[in-house]
């Protein structure tokens, strides 16, 4: 790793700690990092949109034309039509002409809606219901040779449970009929099934969220190791400047924390959290 890269990595750790400082309270470092990423992300998106979007899809095909003829002398002059329609989108900001932006928007919405109908119906509804319209494995109703036969996901019992559970949950979502009597009891069964699904989602969500923090710990540890690991990593670009930068950030962070603690202790108890 070169020293310039290590400086970049140190800045990355600085902004990581700046964002994490929000857990204590809002502060100027957090706000700095927050506003910085908004601007940089927008700038990144402009570049991506330009090169991957406009340059590739519009200016590329029109490249054999001339801009002072509005590219009408290009062999792909028809591409000026979506370009004009796209520019009409910008009339949205005008008080008098914002109605013009509805035309390209209508085209986009119509195409999206039209695409969605057959594909979503097929994949979200038909195929899902068809997956349950299979022969029940009566010969393997309680599972295969596995010791935990009741927990065999391919057993006939599991197929029946999936079918019954899905129907109960779908019944719950049918609000056009009051949930009373037998129908109401079925809907209650549906809630039970849904609760298990949400519980499973929650379990995965906890793992997901913790993973995000684990990644920051790993990056911070790698930053620290790089400052001291000259022998292990055999970094030919290593010099003492790495450690200077490391300690500069560490001292800065510790100094800020101490300053905050002193400030909190000096505050009257009534205003302190």
Count, residues near other proteins per rule CB under 8 A: 135
Radius of gyration, alpha carbons of the chain:
30
Compute the least distance from the CB of residue 69 to other proteins, in Å. 18
161-190: which residues touch other proteins (CB under 8 A)?
161-166, 168-170, 172-173, 190
Among candidates 38, 5, 1, which has minimal Cα distance to 19?
38
Kindly state whether residue 257 participates in binding other proteins, applying the rule CB under 8 A. no
Q: Burial, 147: exposed, middle or buried (Cβ in 10 Å; 0-12, 13-18, 19+)?
A: exposed
86-115: which residues touch other proteins (CB under 8 A)?
86-87, 89-90, 92-93, 98-99, 102-115
Compute the least distance from the CB of residue 77 to other proteins, in Å. 14
Compute the least distance from the CB of residue 140 to other proteins, in Å. 15
Nearer to other proteins, 89 or 230 (CB): 89
Compute the least distance from the CB of residue 62 to other proteins, in Å. 11
| HSE (side-chain half, CA atoms, 13 Å) at 52 | 6
Compute the least distance from the CB of residue 256 to other proteins, in Å. 16
Name which position in 177, 185, 209, 239 contacts other proteins (CB under 8 A).
209
- Write the interaction track for other proteins spanning residues 7-46; mark x where CB under 8 A is met and - where it is not: -xx-xxx-xx--xx-xxx------xxxxxxxxxxxxxxxx
Name which position in 1, 70, 77, 194 contacts other proteins (CB under 8 A).
194
DSSP structure class, residue 142: T
Nearer to other proteins, 38 or 251 (CB): 38
Nearer to other proteins, 221 or 262 (CB): 221
Among candidates 85, 120, 80, which has minimal Cα distance to 106?
85
Compute the least distance from the CB of residue 185 to other proteins, in Å. 14
Report the C-alpha gap between 124 and 170 in whole angstroms.
13
For the chain, the straight-line distance linking the first and the last C-alpha, in angstroms and rounded, comes to 44
Q: What is the largest CA-CA distance in the chain?
A: 78
Report the C-alpha gap between 143 and 12 in whole angstroms.
52
Compute the least distance from the CB of residue 240 to other proteins, in Å. 22
145-164: which residues touch other proteins (CB under 8 A)?
148, 151-153, 158, 161-164
What lies within 8 Å, CB to CB, of 272 at 6+ separation is 264
Report the C-alpha gap between 18 and 11 in whole angstroms.
10
Compute the least distance from the CB of residue 221 to other proteins, in Å. 6
216-235: which residues touch other proteins (CB under 8 A)?
216-219, 221
Report the C-alpha gap between 168 and 187 in whole angstroms.
6
CA 265 from centroid of its chain's CA atoms:
40
Report the C-alpha gap between 50 and 58 in whole angstroms.
10
Which window, 122-130, 178-186, 234-242, 258-266, contacts other proteins (CB under 8 A)?
A: 122-130
59-78: which residues touch other proteins (CB under 8 A)?
59-61
């Amino acid at each position: 790793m070169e020293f310039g890269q290590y400086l970049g990595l140190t800045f990355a750790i600085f902004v990581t700690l700046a964002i994490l400082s929000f857990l204590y309270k809002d502060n100027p470092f957090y706000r700095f990092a927050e506003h910085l990423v908004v601007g940089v992300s927008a700038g990144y998106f402009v570049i991506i949109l330009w090169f991957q979007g406009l340059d590739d899809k519009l200016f590329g095909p029109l490249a054999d034309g001339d801009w002072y003829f509005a590219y009408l002398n290009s062999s792909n002059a028809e591409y000026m039509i979506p370009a004009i329609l796209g520019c009409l989108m910008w009339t949205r900001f005008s008080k008098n002409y914002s109605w013009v932006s509805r035309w390209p928007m209508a085209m986009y919405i119509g195409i999206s809606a039209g695409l969605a109908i057959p594909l979503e119906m097929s994949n979200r509804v038909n195929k899902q219901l068809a997956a349950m319209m299979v022969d029940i494995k009566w010969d393997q109703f309680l599972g295969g040779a596995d010791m935990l036969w009741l927990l065999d996901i391919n057993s006939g019992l599991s197929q029946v449970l999936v079918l019954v559970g899905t129907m109960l949950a779908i019944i719950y979502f049918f609000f056009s009929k009051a949930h009373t009597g037998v129908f109401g009891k079925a809907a209650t069964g549906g809630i039970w099934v849904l609760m298990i699904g949400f519980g499973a989602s929650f379990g995965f969500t906890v793992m997901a969220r913790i993973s995000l923090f684990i990644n920051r710990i790993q990056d911070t540890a790698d930053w620290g190791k790089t400052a001291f690991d000259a022998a292990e990593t055999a970094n030919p670009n290593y010099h003492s400047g790495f450690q200077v930068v490391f300690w500069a950030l560490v001292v800065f962070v510790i100094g800020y924390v101490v300053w905050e603690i002193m400030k909190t202790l000096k505050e009257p108890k009534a205003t302190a959290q």
